[in-house]
Structure 1
């Protein structure tokens, strides 16, 4: 669907299948997707803006269904995990919208897609994988899979040397604990984070800036790898997930992570202009930020 839509609206399209992902070292995407009969993909869609225009890299979590893997989720509410590709859908939609609107900014979506299933081929708690780019990760919880596929995609997106990087994901239940189901958490480099949060509120998507406390990094330490994929405690889970992603973003790169675990999918009744089901959050926020970058550079 992403490739077909990209071609329809004149975007350049690239799809890496599971064989290419394995050969090129995308250990996070392969690790998460290897338990499923539906093999993982990495999809890239690009809108080329005006000459010498700024560039924006978008990365979105595309877990097409999330059982939790071997660290399996409770049955109650698991049916809602069809929504775990909300970040992927949002960055695909945003890139298409940028092309249709003819924004001068160049926009590239790098979208990892996988199904997180338990099976005889699934990754196990305690396995060590190597992310794209070389960092080794001890997978303590296979249900903390979104950060594994996002990290691969972030490193790939940064190879294009973008001026700005935004990733978005239905990443943590902790987002809803901290901010409820209608308020995305916005984390990242301070100036860009504040711009994204302000633009999000201006278009009615209610993004709220959150900190990345430096002490959380130590809680991701591993005995056998460069990092573990989760901390040993439940505190600040949304911030810890973003801290994990921060490890793949070089100093000086303008970067924002938007956690949309609650806001991307409305499991209750309609409210305002928000329907039941997928809400489209944060497409309006992303387009608003891209248009601001086009105006101001």
Structure 2
């Protein structure tokens, strides 16, 4: 669905004739559990003649992070509805924790579905610290209101359209720095929403050629250079991993390369982004259990994130050269599918003994990573829904992170900044030893089919396709890329868009 329009306002929120006003509410740690309106709500609290807090408390408000309480204003202020969103205890500094603010803005905007215009009167400092607060608030609001268009033949009963227009109250609406943050938030949110749309699309409507075509069209429109390799070109080019995985499907695989070159920059840093694009994963011959297999439509979340990131980069125009590589295939069982026991020659010449066709992600990624290194890059960031081991070890919010020290440090810091945490994991020598093959250069999984350190096996395997001297990171998003529970904060059910904001922050930091 269309993203809400954004604007900045500095007029009195209490006098804004809009559908709803959102304010922040702090819980206080004192014994009587009193509440405190957050910065930005001063004029609204004054309009209620000292009764706002007691009224919200009667409605059950506690100020807990993300809690939403609605109040009919009955003419007390110009807007008919007031929404108080919990921001936790009052911060020591000028603004709440950014992730708390991001989630609160998302929850409030989602709760106001059906409204046309909403003003966010949330805390924004009047100093140099305003930029991250603006960014967090705007991104949270835009993403919390996301809804996948879907395929219902009739509108669901009671379903209301998302908010159409968002206005953020700031100290000075003419401030150029604030306007820059507004523009950036819109670009970033569109990238995340596009990723969510691709991930949420059913697999029969987004087979390899479909995804490649859609990405190519959007990237071309954005001004990126686009290269698409089809099945015959992949075979001729020696992309053995992508060919092996894709040959079992009647929908042949693709490799898409997107390129952004900064203008006016001499010898820019080179960044390669690589994404796994398995549009549906049955497991192939090593077929998965039927329960929950439908979620494997999200196995292309890494490629979707990389494509959307490149499209955003084209609009943000950072001073670094960025290329994206999308390894796209459908992993199906058939008479032409690759088998356990096969030996596959990869793009960089390494030969891989296959033990499990359901470990297909590392096969397509190995080719794409080797191609990225062959093209030349200083940094390589790869992201994929690679292993169930990531979910077991780190859960549904924290990505697994492996690679060189500098690259993983960049991802870890960026993830902390944007609210997409990642946890660094080791690449032990004994895991690599367990992947020795008697007949090839490396086994695709542990030679004894031992799943111990399963997430680490994936990282160890991918390391084989990174050229020496390239700073690299593997970001395993098997859990964080797809949210199966009810909407909370700025996450809605389905695709989350992780790690688009992390990748864009990394590029910002390198620039």
Give the TM-score range, shorter chain.
over 0.9
DSSP 3-state at the match of 1:261: coil
Distance of 2:230 and 2:273 partners within structure 1: 20
1:53 to partner: Cα distance: 1.3
Deviations 1:95-136 (A, max 9, x none): 111111111111100111000000011011111110111111
Alignment of 1:63-102 (within 5 A): 63-102=278-317
Task: Say if 2:467 is the partner of 1:254.
Answer: no
Which of the residues 259, 267, 280 maps onto 2:497? Answer: 280
Which of the residues 321, 345, 362 maps onto 1:147? Answer: 362
Which of the residues 250, 259, 268 maps onto 1:37? Answer: 250
RMSD in angstroms over aligned alpha carbons?
Answer: 0.8
DSSP 3-state at the match of 1:182: coil
Which of the residues 478, 485, 490 maps onto 1:268? Answer: 485
Distance of 1:252 and 1:18 partners within structure 2: 31
Which of the residues 236, 240, 245 maps onto 1:23? Answer: 236
1:271 to partner: Cα distance: 1.3
Task: Say if 2:259 is the partner of 1:51.
Answer: no
1:7 to partner: Cα distance: 0.4
Task: Say if 2:234 is the partner of 1:234.
Answer: no
Indicate if the aligned counterparts of 2:373 and 2:467 stay in contact, CA closer than 8 A.
no
1:51 to partner: Cα distance: 2.9
Given the two structures, how large is their TM-score scaled by the length of structure 1?
A: 0.98
Equivalent residues, number = 294
1:269 to partner: Cα distance: 1.1
Match of 1:121 in 2: 336
Task: Say if 2:436 is the partner of 1:218.
Answer: no
Distance of 1:210 and 1:124 partners within structure 2: 30
Task: Say if 2:392 is the partner of 1:189.
Answer: no
Indicate if the aligned counterparts of 2:370 and 2:467 stay in contact, CA closer than 8 A.
no
Q: Extract unaligned runs of 5+ from structure 2.
A: 1-213
Larger Cα Rg: Structure 1 or Structure 2? 2
Deviations 1:205-224 (A, max 9, x none): 01111111122111111111
Distance of 1:102 and 1:253 partners within structure 2: 23
Alignment of 1:9-20 (within 5 A): 9-20=222-233
DSSP 3-state at the match of 1:178: helix
1:3 to partner: Cα distance: 0.3
Q: Extract unaligned runs of 5+ from structure 1.
A: none
DSSP 3-state at the match of 2:434: helix
Distance of 2:300 and 2:308 partners within structure 1: 12
Distance of 2:254 and 2:444 partners within structure 1: 21
Distance of 1:218 and 1:250 partners within structure 2: 20
